[in-house]
Amino acid sequence: MLTDFSTVYSQRGDDELLHLATQRHSLTTEAAAALDAELRRRNLTESDQVEHQKFVKRQERREFRGRRRKIFGKRQFSWLELLSAFVAMAVIAFAYLALPKRYHLKPDWEEAAVYVMIAYVVVTVGWRSLWRDIAFWIALILSSAIQLAVVHTWVQRAGELSRGAGKLATLLGFVFFIAIYGCIRLIRRNFYGGGSSESR
């Protein structure tokens, strides 16, 4: 049996053997012995195994980022985007304050609207590469409505939210958007396949 394993392992590449070495616990005694012999024959040491594990982890991280980019587009933090978001929020706040008092929201709705605005201005400015995708706008509208209702109920029950609670209320917007947008993309992919057409 040892000879059989030796023949099989001798025909495999270094990467395959190093990967197999990370799964040693699943091998039989004979297979592990043959693997060790082949590793020694190729001068592959434990440090090579550690380097291979690091390489695999890097590859997994790249694949994860690649899958995430397929859903949310290529993201790269930009100070210009952050500045644009602050400017947009300032314009919205100025326009709101310029309205006559009778058009202002009640305090509990006003506080909830602030958290919704912060979350969705950042989402809209940050993911401008998705502006031509109708799923983006559907997710934005649905998630902002849900966040507004949830935060408004929260404000009614708790009164004015603390700073920490306010951050959590803003974070809810991102969570709702990501969940809804991901679901829409998944549904669209299931109905129309991987090459579903996005709005042009």
Length of the chain: 200
pLDDT, one tens digit per residue, over 10-58 is: 888 888 888 888 887 788 888 888 888 888 888 888 888 888 888 888 8
Supply the pLDDT for residue 34.
84
- Does the predicted TM-score (pTM) go above 0.75? no
pLDDT, one tens digit per residue, over 165-189 is: 999 999 999 999 999 999 998 898 8
Residues ≥6 apart with Cβ < 8 Å to 23: none
Q: What is the percent of the chain with per-residue pLDDT over 90, rounded to a whole number?
A: 33
d(CA 12, CA 163): 58
> Helix 107-126 crosses helix 79-98 at what angle (to 10 degrees)?
150
* CB distance 149 to 96 below 8 Å: no
d(CA 19, CA 53): 8
User: Binning pLDDT at 50, 70 and 90, where does residue 200 land?
Assistant: very low
Question: Residue 42 CB: number of other CB atoms within 10 A?
Answer: 14
